[in-house]
Amino acid sequence: MSLLKLEALSKKFGDHWALKEIDFSIDEGEIVGLVGPNGAGKTTLFNLIACRHRPTSGRVLFANEETTLCKPHKIQKLGISRTFQSSRPFAKMSTLDNVVVGRVFGGEFHLFAQSTDIDSARQLLELVGLAHKEQTPAGDLTLSEQRRLDLARALATQPRLLLLDEVVAGFSPVAVKQAVDLVRRVRQRGVTLFIVDHFLSLSLRVSDRLLALDHGEKVAEGRPQEVMRNREVIRAYLGTRYEDE
Amino acid sequence: MWTTVVVSGITLGSFYTLIAMGFALIFGVTRTFNLAHGEVLVLAGYAAYWLWKTSGVSLLFTFPAAVLVALVVCLILQRLFSRLREPLELNSIVMSFGVAILLQNGMLFFFSGDYRLIRVPTFNQGLHFNTLYLSYGQLTLLALSLLVIGLLYLLMRHTYLGKALRATIQDREAAALAGINVGAMGILAFAIGAILIGLAGPLYGCVHYLYPTAGLQATLLAITITIFAGVGRIRGLILGGWILALAESCAVVLFGASWRELVGAVMLITLLALRPQGILGREQ
Amino acid sequence: MQVARAAPVLGLVFLLLLPVFARYNDYVLQVFTHALLLATLALAWNILGVSGSISLGHAAFFGAGAYTSALLSLDLGVSPWATIPLGGVLAAGIAAIMGLFCLRLRGAYFALATLAFVEIPKVITDNWDGLTRGSLGLVGLPGLPSLRLGSYHFDISGSLAGSYYFVLGYGLVLLLLVTLMFRSNLGLALQAIREEEIAAEAVGIQVQRYRLLSLLLSAFFTGITGACYGHLIRYIEPGLVYGLHFSAMPMIFAICGGRFTILGPALAALVLYPVDQFIFHPLLPAGHEFLYGAVIILAILFMPSGVWGQLRKGHFVSIKTGSIE
């Protein structure tokens, strides 16, 4: 059964079609990579799923429920969580508090954070390898640490679907390898993942399927190797000269 | 009666525009709000008052002194503003609020809290056109305001400097890429702003009582007119000044003088509520 | 760090014992009573401040609280103990109207709107002669009735020490409430909104609802302080209670003290106001308040997280760290 279903989703900014008639669906438990060159519409697609923008036409269905017109804070309650292309930590709050925020507002509301909230926040910091920094203000973390914190915070809301936007951009090969392990562990927790990854370093290794976009249109979908052999995808990434090689 | 309202509204409104222009220019070029704007205006007024009172020179000769005082203060302010960190707009508000307190207390120290007025005897005489009466004071205010506004318009439209300033207002980064020294434009904006304030100060001292905390009202009207106009549009500033002054005059006639202060406040809040993303939001 | 631990305790001991030392010096007690009132204003201001919004219009709430309580107790003869909370409620009501127009705004534009907003209740109070007696103000406000606990009799309005301890007690209660608020999930939400509104929304925080709540709470306690002020001073007028003073002071104290901390705003009030009154006022009778202008300029240029925030670097309000900041 599909967890997320996009039906003819389109978004127009001014005269420019950022996305055009995207049909796609993701099954529960899958890891799907979203690839495409700059300006292909990847982040726009995420913003539509996360209800930051409203589509010009088309529908988004999550767990068979239409979410096209939800408010951003509401979509999280239904089980979609996200990280941001440029990470957005709560800079002056401690690393632990950052994750606690996700836990507290993702779950049932209490006036005060419960000790179980703090415990599970600690476990998530452990998972992303930030346990030793729990009292550091999030703004003082390095870029890669902030990305992992973003991930921990998103996971803390206990999503069914997690949208990862460029989590490994600028990472060293070692850090990318760690991220691959991390993403697999996240999947083991029963989370479905949708990953934007411009340089393919993460999505090629972990994805079950890829969705390739170019100029706002779907050019290919399927198993990673197939998609990467697709002529349109090669042309989109490398230009026409490499098409026949 | 209503013609009197309209005439005094246009007169006062032109003067309001003159007051607002410096504020709008500084905001447009540097993206900082100078809440001490009114205080500098009142200070320039005090400078003129002091010169007029102690040496008995005519009003005309007080303008250079007022301009000089405003220039010195504004160039110091520019140094302070240029050190601000992001978020620039908010931090400039907080800091210039402090500057306003500083200036208010300085004026209290030097000029005491007494109400001062520059009295020009001829300003109370005037001309009659049928039922309409125009005092020389009003005529001077109107003529000088329009003259200065016109000069600024020519500067902005027809000189290289004006083009550079307008380019900076429209897009700082593009202006910098085109070789415009954006930092220098900031200094220039404060300098021109200071000259405008300095020219308005003595006039302000003729039509308003000077006292150390008088500046807030002037600052509020400058903000209101600037938000009304959006940045970099002198025509908008003129229209904003006239509308504000006319609305104030109507409120005074209909409800009484004590309701006047409410007009500007309500207008500002309404404008902001209608344009929540601020003056620069038109790009989105 | 040690300063940060010791200072609040020493400060509290000092405040508790002050009337004993200053028994024969009325002026010292008056100054510290007013400093404590300003400290409660700064604490209340920062309930909104912690969410990242800077208000230049809290005098609207202060004046509304003062006038509501004064009029109810004067005209209807109700006990101030009943009218003071009503002052807070009306202040919150005014804040709800303000929120309607201003909460869509952020940053600088919110600050400008609040600055203009004060004029509305001020001009209305000034002109509604039938109800408020207009610009003449209200005189002869009833003082705060003494509190009885069994045989013990605590006189508030009769003695300076009584007024002082009353304001100190109110200040400590407010400090406790603010600490609880900031440590609660409400505080967590407000800080998250301040730091990254979009991310806050993405983790499920209803941004506008929390911003409104913080504005209402902030206004409520500012209104309570305004009401208490009226009954302590026994005289209010529009120009005084809606004046720029009561908008500016809490903002200045909160930013200089540290608006990301709990204690910073109150500490700044308790230090700066006495310094102003005991040192600068005698030196410069006209113009001594330049001090506040100078400190806010210095703070915004060199210490944007405030003195207390700087001392507690990296230990702003947190649900985890044990001590009160």
Give a yes or no: residue A88 inside a domain. no
What tens digit of pLDDT does each residue of C257-284 get? 998 889 999 999 999 999 999 999 989 8
pLDDT at B277: 59
Split into its structural domains, chain C has a count of: 1
Distance from CA of C207 to the nearest CA of A (A): 8
Is A143 within 8 Å of A126 (Cβ atoms)? no
> Looking at residue C256, which CATH number applies to its domain?
1.10.3470
CB of C189 within 8 Å of any CB in chain A? yes
Range of the domain at A239: 1-79+193-245
Q: Across residues C171-182, what is the average pLDDT?
A: 94
- Using a threshold of 3 CB pairs under 8 A, tell whether chains A and B touch: no
Of the residues C300, C302, C303, the best mutation for testing chain B's interface (the one with the most B CB atoms within 10 Å of its CB) is: C300
What is this model's ipTM?
A: 0.91
Interface contacts (B, C; CB < 8 Å): 137
Q: Where are the beta strands (DSSP E) in B89-243?
A: 126-129, 132-135
CB of C318 within 8 Å of any CB in chain A? yes
Q: Which of C107, C252, C286 sits opposite B109 (nearest CB)?
A: C286
> Rounded to whole angstroms, how far apart are CA atoms B261 and C59?
16
B2-283 belongs to CATH 1.10.10: no
Residues with Cβ within 8 Å of C289's Cβ and at least 6 positions away in sequence, in order, are B101, B104, B105, C276
Residue C42 has φ and ψ, to the nearest 5°, of: -65, -40
What tens digit of pLDDT does each residue of C75-102 get? 898 888 999 999 999 999 999 999 998 9
pLDDT at B112: 85
Share of chain B above pLDDT 90, in %: 47
Give a yes or no: residue A87 inside a domain. no
Q: How confident is the model at residue C322 (pLDDT cuts 50, 70, 90)?
A: very low
Q: Which of C120, C123, C286 sits opposite B258 (nearest CB)?
A: C123
Give a yes or no: residue A232 inside a domain. yes
Give a yes or no: residue A146 inside a domain. no
Give a yes or no: residue C133 inside a domain. yes
Give a yes or no: residue A60 inside a domain. yes
How far from the centroid of its chain's Cα atoms is residue C222's Cα? 5
| pLDDT of C325 over the 60 cut | no
Torsion of CA B259, B265, B268, B270, to 10 degrees: -70
| pLDDT of C313 over the 80 cut | no
Q: How many CB atoms lie within 10 A of CB B184?
A: 11
In one-letter notation, the amino acid at residue A213 is L
Q: Is A68 helix (H, G, I), strand (E, B) or coil?
A: coil
Q: Across residues A151-156, what is the average pLDDT?
A: 90
Residues with Cβ within 8 Å of B26's Cβ and at least 6 positions away in sequence, in order, are B32, B34, B37, B189, B190, B193
Q: Is A103 helix (H, G, I), strand (E, B) or coil?
A: helix
- DSSP letter at B204 equals H
| C 195-224 residues inside an 8 A Cβ radius of A | 195-196, 198-207
Integer Rg of chain B from CA: 18
What tens digit of pLDDT does each residue of A67-104 get? 888 888 888 888 888 888 888 889 888 899 999 998 88
Sequence spans of domains, chain B: 2-283
| pLDDT of B218 over the 60 cut | yes
Give a yes or no: residue C316 inside a domain. no
Range of the domain at C244: 2-311
Split into its structural domains, chain A has a count of: 1
Q: What are the start-end ranges of the H helices in A38-107?
A: 42-49, 72-78, 95-106
Q: How confident is the model at residue C310 (pLDDT cuts 50, 70, 90)?
A: confident
Of the residues C186, C203, C260, C318, the best mutation for testing chain A's interface (the one with the most A CB atoms within 10 Å of its CB) is: C203
Of the residues A48, A101, A136, the best mutation for testing chain C's interface (the one with the most C CB atoms within 10 Å of its CB) is: A101
Q: Across residues C194-223, what is the average pLDDT?
A: 93
> Rounded to whole angstroms, how far apart are CA atoms A35 and A42?
7
Is B258 within 8 Å of B274 (Cβ atoms)? no
| Degrees to nearest 5, angle at CA B191 with B96 and C112 | 30
Q: Is C132 helix (H, G, I), strand (E, B) or coil?
A: helix
Give a yes or no: residue C324 inside a domain. no
Strands A192-196 and A161-165: parallel
Share of chain C above pLDDT 90, in %: 59
How far is residue C228 from each of residues B28, C147, C231, C233, measured CA to CA in Å?
A: 44, 15, 5, 9
Interface contacts (A, C; CB < 8 Å): 107
Q: What is the mean pLDDT of chain A?
A: 85
Contact yes or no for C252 and B98 at CB 8 A = yes
Distance from CA of B283 to the nearest CA of C (A): 17
Residue B278 has φ and ψ, to the nearest 5°, of: 90, -175
Give a yes or no: residue A110 inside a domain. no
